[in-house]
């Protein structure tokens, strides 16, 4: 890996201290960074190099894995960190930023390779690239590399996403732009591809002939914490569904790429988005359920409702829960429903994909309930990454009674790098110029094209219902309606822990 300066805009913010610094420290400790790298934090907080290093030193033990921390490594890592106090919204400050980068170049013998990370509020996403362009910090000369990473949400609807794409593509080439979705950095998400395309026993079954329906769930047992100001302007659909969940749908449904490279992989992702069957207004009303958590009482304490959270409008109609049914109109998936849901203040924290296979055409044995199938595959992304394959076997005894059993596997059994540090994986990919797991501009727009009509109807029709659900439950009862009489949501147990791969209520 070449020498490089990593420039983090928003260096005093929550994302930097919780995710970026621990991940960069892990890369440093495991010798995955060039010895002559530097990290320049940018923010309005008036730190110096030394006071910012002291701040990071205090934060690392709170968010980095305790087993990774040792005094010598932390001390050496901190010496690579610098800070420059400026307002990223101030156009005039970028000339001085350029001068500071030139000084750092000389100090670490860096030929002008810069990686910009926008850990800022979305309001600055369209501003920072243009101001970098004004002083030539986007231009690559000779063998230089200039790349930019931008966090979600990439736009708030289709038109704003198109506007951002226009700005970024006028400042950088597409191969310099890295739209990050940390879900794609998770080992289990990447292993969906290996599971499907490295095994001849699964891919022949991965279609409408053998799969009955698919569930994708990503829920949390926390509220919005201190993010009320941001969350009340976005909601669950923008925060989770339009990016994270639809990415999981794409990985589950995509065709095998001809080659495993960035272009071939991302081409297949875009094809899935383009094949999403558009919803009419009537279908939106019946197939997209939104909810908002309300106050709940328990013996131990009171969980306050969303509208009582800090910086949330007391009359807010922002959704904290979304459940929907969608179809992919292509040869492989025609007629197979995909049920997706996400929510705050759920009974547990879990992200998983469940593949429900069709039942056998004729039930020979007792214990097989009607049209339901004994066969399913659970791909658990968190909290304990792994796979469960469920099938039927005979109960010991004289009668042919069939019961469902399971085989399970967790990814930590494979060894290698610790599972779970998605940001470390994606940061390293970006430094190496590997863009496979980053979202391309056409994928962003194709996703927004599908979800835009839903947001428009919610915003323009005051009669669109917003269902309440008590905090700590599985969402509004109306979410069951989109499953119909043939299906039911799969709810993992409430006390799921990092050591549990699978259990049900």
pLDDT tens per residue across span 353-367: 999 999 888 777 655
Is position 108 within any domain?
yes
Where is 15: in which H helix or E strand?
Answer: helix 14-15
Inside any domain, residue 369: no
Shared-domain flag, residues 104 and 188: no
Is 152 known to sit in a ligand binding site? yes
Backbone angles phi, psi at 153, to 5 degrees: -80, 135
Whether the predicted pLDDT of 261 surpasses 90: no
Average pLDDT of the chain, as a whole number = 90
Counted residue by residue, the chain has a size of 505
**CATH number (domain holding residue 91):** 3.40.50.720
pTM as predicted: 0.89
Residue 60 near residue 69 (C-beta atoms within 8 A): yes
Q: Answer yes or no: is 75 a known binding residue.
A: no
Structure token pair of residue 351 = 């992200």
Q: In which residue are the tokens 């362009």 written?
A: 133
Cα 350 from Cα 380, distance rounded (Å): 8
> Which residue among 136, 151, 166 closes a domain?
151
Among all chains, which residue has been given the structure tokens 């990439």? 154
Neighbours of 34 (CB within 10 A): 15
To the question of whether residue 93 is assigned a binding role by annotation, the answer is no
Whether the Cβ atoms of residue 372 and residue 405 lie closer than 8 Å to each other? no
Is there a domain that residue 61 lies in?
Answer: yes
Give how far Cα 155 sits from Cα of 69, 125, 243, 452, 456, Å.
Answer: 37, 9, 11, 11, 14
Would residue 88 count as lying in a domain? yes
In a domain, 163, yes or no: no
Judgement on whether residues 189 and 310 belong to the same structural domain of the protein: yes
Q: Determine the Cα–Cα distance for residues 181 and 80; give it in Å rounded to an integer.
A: 26
Structure tokens at 106: 């000389």
**Whether pLDDT at 425 is above 70:** yes
Known binding residue 97? Answer is no
Nearest-CA neighbor of 67 among 32, 29, 34?
29
Q: Mean pLDDT across the stretch 262-281?
A: 94
What is the pLDDT at residue 58?
96
Rg (CA), the chain: 24
**353 plus 279 within the same structural domain:** yes
Task: Characterize the bridge pairing of strands 211-219 and 337-343.
Answer: parallel
Task: Dump the DSSP string for 91-137.
Answer: GGGHHHHHHHHHHHHHHHT--S-EEEEE-S-GGGTTTHHHHHHHTTT
244 is an active site residue: yes
* Distance from C-alpha of 354 to C-alpha of 489, rounded to nearest angstrom: 10
Query: CB of 382 within 8 A of CB of 349?
Result: yes
CA angle 228, 234, 237 (to 5 degrees): 125
| Domain-embedded: residue 489 | no
**Is residue 305 predicted with pLDDT exceeding 90?**
yes
Which has the closest alpha carbon to 117: 421, 426, 418? 426
Condensed to tens digits (0 to 9), the pLDDT of residues 76-93 reads 999 999 999 999 999 999
Query: Contact, 242 vs 448, CB < 8 A?
Result: yes
DSSP 413: G
User: Is 390 annotated as belonging to a binding site?
Assistant: no
- What's the whole-number mean pLDDT along residues 270-279? 97
- How far are the Cα atoms of 107, 328, 454, 480, 488 from residue 288, in angstroms, in the given order? 55, 16, 8, 11, 16
Residue 291 clears pLDDT 80, i.e. is over it: yes
* CATH, residue 196: 3.30.360.10
pLDDT at 489: 94
C-alpha 364/C-alpha 239 separation (Å) is 46
Q: Supply the range of the domain harboring residue 111.
A: 4-151
Domain presence at residue 173: no
Q: Are residues 61 and 142 in the same domain?
A: yes
Confidence of residue 398 (pLDDT cuts 50, 70, 90): low
Of the ranges 99-113, 150-164, 183-197, 490-504, which is most confident? 99-113
Number of domains in the chain: 2
* 465 and 359 assigned to the same domain: yes
pLDDT at 505 over 70: no
pLDDT of residue 181: 84
Would 297 be classed as within a structural domain? Answer: yes
Q: Is there a single domain that holds both residue 127 and residue 193?
A: no
Per annotation, catalytic residue among 157, 244, 297, 362 = 244
Claim to verify: residue 68 and residue 126 sit in the same structural domain: yes
Give yes or no: residues 196 and 238 share one domain.
yes
Considering the domain architecture, whether residues 136 and 200 belong to the same structural domain is answered as no
- For residue 337, give the H/E element and its range: strand 337-343
The answer to the question of whether 15 is labelled as a binding residue is: yes
Give the C-alpha separation, 68 to 87, whole Å.
34
Of the candidates 224, 186, 86, the residue with the CA atom closest to the CA atom of residue 425: 186
* Residues in Cβ contact with 378 at an 8 Å cutoff, skipping those fewer than 6 apart: 352, 353, 354, 355, 387, 388, 390, 490, 502
**220 carries a ligand binding annotation:** yes
What Cα–Cα distance (Å) separates residue 283 from each residue in 139, 280, 324, 325?
47, 5, 10, 10
| Backbone φ and ψ of 18, nearest 5° | -85, -35
d(CA 254, CA 189): 13
pLDDT confidence of residue 368:
53
Given a contact cutoff of 8 angstroms between Cβ atoms, the answer to whether 221 and 345 are in contact is: yes
Q: Does 146 share its domain with 276?
A: no
Distances (CA, A) of 47 to 16, 38, 44, 82: 15, 17, 9, 10
Instruction: Judge if 214 and 115 occupy the same domain.
Output: no
H or E element that contains 387: strand 386-394
Same domain? For 327 and 467 the reply is yes
């Amino acid at each position: 890996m070449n020498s490089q300066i990593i420039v983090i805009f928003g260096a005093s913010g929550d994302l930097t201290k919780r995710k970026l610094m621990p991940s960069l420290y892990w890369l440093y400790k495991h010798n995955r960074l060039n010895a002559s790298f530097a990290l320049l934090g940018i923010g309005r907080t008036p730190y110096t190099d030394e006071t910012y290093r002291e701040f990071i030193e205090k934060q690392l033990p709170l968010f980095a894995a305790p087993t990774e921390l040792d005094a010598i490594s932390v001390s050496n890592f901190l010496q690579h960190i610098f800070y420059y106090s400026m307002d990223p919204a101030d156009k005039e400050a970028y000339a001085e930023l350029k001068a500071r980068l030139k000084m750092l170049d000389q100090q670490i013998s860096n030929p002008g390779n810069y990686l910009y990370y926008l850990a800022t509020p979305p309001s600055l996403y369209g501003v920072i690239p243009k101001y970098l362009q004004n002083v030539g910090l986007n231009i690559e000369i000779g063998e230089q590399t200039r790349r930019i990473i931008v966090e979600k949400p990439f736009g708030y609807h289709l038109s704003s996403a198109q506007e951002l794409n226009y700005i970024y593509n006028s400042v950088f080439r597409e191969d310099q732009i890295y739209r990050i979705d940390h879900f794609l950095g998770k080992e289990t998400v990447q292993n969906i591809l290996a599971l499907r395309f490295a095994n001849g026993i699964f891919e022949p079954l991965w279609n409408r002939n053998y799969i009955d329906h698919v569930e994708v769930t990503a829920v949390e047992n926390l509220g919005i914490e201190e993010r009320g100001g941001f969350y009340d302007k976005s909601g669950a659909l923008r925060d989770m569904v339009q990016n994270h969940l639809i990415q999981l749908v794409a990985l589950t449904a995509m065709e095998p790429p001809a080659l495993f490279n960035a272009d071939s992989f991302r081409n297949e992702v875009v094809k899935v988005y383009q094949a999403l069957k558009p919803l009419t207004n009537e279908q939106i009303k019946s197939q997209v359920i939104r909810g908002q958590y309300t106050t709940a009482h328990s013996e131990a304490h009171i969980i306050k409702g969303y509208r009582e959270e800090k910086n949330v409008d007391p009359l807010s109609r922002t959704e904290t829960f979304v459940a929907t049914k969608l179809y992919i109109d292509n040869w492989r998936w025609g007629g197979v429903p995909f049920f997706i849901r996400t929510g705050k203040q759920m009974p547990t924290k879990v992200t998983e994909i469940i593949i429900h296979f069709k039942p056998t055409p004729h039930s020979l044995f007792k214990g097989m309930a009607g049209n339901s199938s004994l066969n399913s595959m659970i791909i658990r992304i968190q909290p304990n990454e792994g796979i469960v394959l469920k099938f039927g076997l005979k109960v010991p005894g004289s009668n042919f009674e069939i019961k469902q059993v399971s085989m399970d596997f967790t990814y930590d059994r494979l060894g290698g790098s610790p599972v779970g540090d998605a940001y470390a994986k994606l940061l390293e990919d970006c430094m190496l110029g590997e863009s496979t797991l980053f979202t391309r501009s056409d994928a962003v727009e194709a996703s927004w094209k599908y979800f835009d009509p839903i947001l428009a109807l919610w915003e323009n029709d005051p009669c669109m219902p917003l269902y309440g659900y008590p905090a700590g439950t599985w969402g509004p009862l109306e979410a069951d309606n989109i499953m119909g009489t043939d299906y039911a949501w799969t709810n993992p147990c409430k006390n799921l822990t990092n050591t549990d791969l699978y259990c049900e209520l």
